[in-house]
Every structure is written in C-alpha cells, then in structure tokens.
C-alpha cells in the first residue's frame, strides 16, 4: 500500500510518499481503508523528534482520518466490514498512522461516520473536535445564554468550537485576522466576527457585551493575548488556554479583581470517562447537523510536505486535509 513514511526526524522534507507493507488487524483491532486524513500541529511537532511523544522510526504520521472498515480482528464488536467510520486521535505509540491508504488501530479509536458527513469532514474531526468539546464543556462548563469569545476562531479547532457553542445556546464572538478567515467564522455561526482583540480594541468588545465582557474566552495564543484576556473577561469568568508558544508577563491582580479562572487544557489529560463523554457529544452534534467540519485546504497524500509547510506558515484558514486515493 501507499503511505507517507518518516525514516529521520526533521522538517517537511522528511515526509516521503512510498510503498509500505500492507497492514492487518490483530485482536481487538480494526483495519480502515482511508480516504482522507487530518493534518494537525501535533503531527508537525512529532516529526521534529522533540515532542512529548516520540515514535519509533520508521513511522507513518497522522492520528485522524476517515474511511471504511476493511477488516476486523477477533473480539471487535463496535463496527463491521463496510462501515463508514472516522478515526479520532491515535495515541501516538504507533508506526502505522493515518497518512496512508490503510491504518490499523484499536477498536476504541474507530467511530461511526454519518452518511451525510463526507470522508474529508470526518478526517477533520479527531483532535480539533475533541479539543473544542473538552474546552467548552469540560473545562469552561459553558452554559446556554453565556457569551464566549473564541480568540482565533478561523482554525480547525476554532471553527468547530463556534459551531458547538452556538448549538449549545451561547452567544459567540469570533476573531480572525483575514477577510477569508472572518467569512468562515461567520459561516460557522458566530454572532459577531471581529479582528483579534488588542489593548486598543478592548472597549470595542466590551461594547458588544454591554460592558460586562465575555463569560468564557477560548485562547489559542496565550503568549500574546493573556493579559488582554484578563482585562476583557467578565467577573467570575473563565479563560481556557488551548495554545501557547512562549512566555508572557501578566499582572495577577487582574485575575484577583475579576475572581476569574485561568484554566489550561490538554486533550491527553482527559480521563477515560471524560473521553467517552467527549466522543458521544461529538457524534451527537455530528449526527444532528449542529457540527459541520469546515475544510480550508485539500492536498493529495503525495503532497503531505506542502500541507506541513502551509501549517508552519499559518497562511490558511479552516482544517487542512489530505485526500487519499
């Protein structure tokens, strides 16, 4: 079968499209014929060999994907051959990933894909959907009627967070830096779409919330925005940190004055019962049509290196997906 293989850690130039040995499921495992795979920042970090999870070389990248069940091992009861499925977040201790025509994984990573959802949309779930759900409902405990600011809403996680929050009955303010990104955020259902909030524009956002500030802020660039978020958040509000790329100096008195919470979030910290809750919640929203993953850019599997380059440049909006023949 065809796959992307990594024999040396490094940058996108280390991704090679090649023939690899076919895969077959063992006990409790499922073999999926893939038609699409999602590209996540964690895939690029893993490629460097310096991430928290270091796979054994050679390996095939990718933890999210979608396709049909080709074969099942003994004691597999949740799916059957021919089922349309999506794969959500392989645990990283793998040599066979989703950047391939086929993947073998534990049955617990394979979930039903509704007929109205394309394979490309299914591949855009996984890390983005699970992250958005955990941030909104398990960390922020978002309530209907509350206002949430998604600070950087035009990415794969942000767009799904917009849809989930709206489906839950929240008022959503989304930020983006480019016209095309703002258009996608609006299409996702945000009530208000604005530029990224800075010191100079705090009052503009406060005006949108009648001076109160948002009850919840979902933050993807806390190394830039955390001080601004603290000035913006409502009293007793919650700031959920999903992304960070460095250090920042803040005045803790701002948190004291608001009695707000600053909560970190990492998907791998979810307990088994929390993970099951997330999966069931995502599938329910997907089945009802409330969740509609939005694809930004498609690349054929052969051009995985170009997908990684776009990810590094941060030039796209929405989810990057690899199409697999």
pLDDT by 10-residue block (mean), the chain, 325 residues: 97 97 94 97 92 89 97 95 92 76 94 96 96 98 98 94 98 94 96 90 89 96 92 97 90 95 94 95 96 95 96 84 97
Which pair of tokens denotes residue 123?
A: 């591949």
Query: Is 56:74 a contact under the CB 8 Å cutoff?
Result: no
Equal fold, 2-125+293-323 vs 128-268: no
3-state secondary structure of 222: helix
State the DSSP code for 190.
-
Q: What is the pLDDT of residue 242?
A: 94
For 31, 63, 198, 219, 256, the CA distances from 97, given in Å and listed in that order, are: 11, 6, 39, 29, 45
What pLDDT is stored for residue 92 in this prediction?
Answer: 55
Angle at the Cα of 129 from the Cα atoms of 182 and 107, rounded to 5 degrees: 155
172 phi, psi to nearest 5 deg: -120, 125
| Fold type of domain 128-268 | Rossmann fold (3.40.50)
Cβ proximity of 36 and 324 under 8 Å = yes
SS3 call for 2: strand
Q: Please give the Cα distance from 173 to 217 (Å, whole number).
A: 9
**Residue 193: per-residue pLDDT:** 95
What CATH superfamily classification does 2-125+293-323 receive? Answer: Medium-chain alcohol dehydrogenases, catalytic domain (3.90.180.10)
Sign of the dihedral defined by the CA atoms of residues 8, 14, 18, 23, in that order? positive
Q: Are 197 and 149 in contact (CB under 8 A)?
A: yes
Give Cα separations from 166 to 136, 171, 189 (angstroms): 11, 7, 7
Residue 253: how many other CB atoms lie within 10 Å: 9
**Could you state, in order of their start, the residue ranges of all structural domains in the chain?**
2-125+293-323, 128-268
Q: State the sign of the Cα–Cα–Cα–Cα dihedral 130, 224, 176, 240.
A: positive
Global pTM reads: 0.94
The pLDDT assigned to 244 comes to 84
């Amino acid at each position: 079968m065809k796959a992307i293989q990594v024999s040396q850690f490094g940058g996108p130039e280390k991704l090679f499209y090649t023939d690899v040995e076919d895969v077959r499921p063992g006990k409790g495992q499922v073999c999926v014929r893939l038609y699409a795979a999602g590209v996540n920042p964690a895939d690029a970090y893993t490629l460097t060999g310096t991430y928290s999870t270091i796979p054994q070389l050679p390996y095939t990248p990718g933890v999210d994907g979608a396709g049909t069940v080709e074969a099942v091992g003994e004691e597999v009861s949740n799916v059957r051959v021919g089922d349309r499925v999506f794969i959500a977040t392989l645990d990283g201790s793998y040599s066979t990933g989703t950047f391939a025509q086929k993947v073998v994984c534990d049955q617990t990573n394979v979930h039903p894909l509704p007929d109205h959802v394309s394979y490309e949309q299914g591949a855009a779930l996984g890390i983005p959907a699970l992250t958005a759900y955990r941030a909104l409902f398990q960390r922020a405990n978002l309530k209907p009627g509350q206002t949430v600011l998604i600070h950087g809403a035009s990415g794969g996680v942000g767009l799904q967070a917009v849809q989930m929050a709206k489906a839950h009955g929240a008022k959503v303010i989304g930020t983006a830096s480019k016209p095309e990104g703002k258009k996608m955020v609006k299409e996702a259902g945000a009530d208000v779409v604005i530029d990224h909030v800075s010191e100079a524009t705090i009052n503009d956002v406060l005006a949108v919330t009648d001076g109160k500030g948002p009850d919840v802020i979902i933050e993807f660039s806390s190394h830039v925005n955390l001080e601004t978020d603290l000035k913006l958040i409502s009293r007793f509000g919650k700031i959920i940190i999903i992304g960070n790329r460095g250090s920042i100096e803040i005045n803790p008195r701002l948190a004291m004055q608001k009695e707000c919470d600053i909560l970190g979030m990492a998907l791998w910290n979810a307990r088994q019962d929390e993970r099951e809750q997330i999966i069931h919640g995502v599938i329910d929203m997907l089945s009802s049509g409330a969740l509609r993953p939005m694809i930004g850019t498609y690349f054929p599997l052969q051009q995985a290196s170009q997908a990684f380059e776009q990810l590094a440049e941060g030039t796209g909006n929405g989810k990057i997906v690899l199409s697999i023949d």
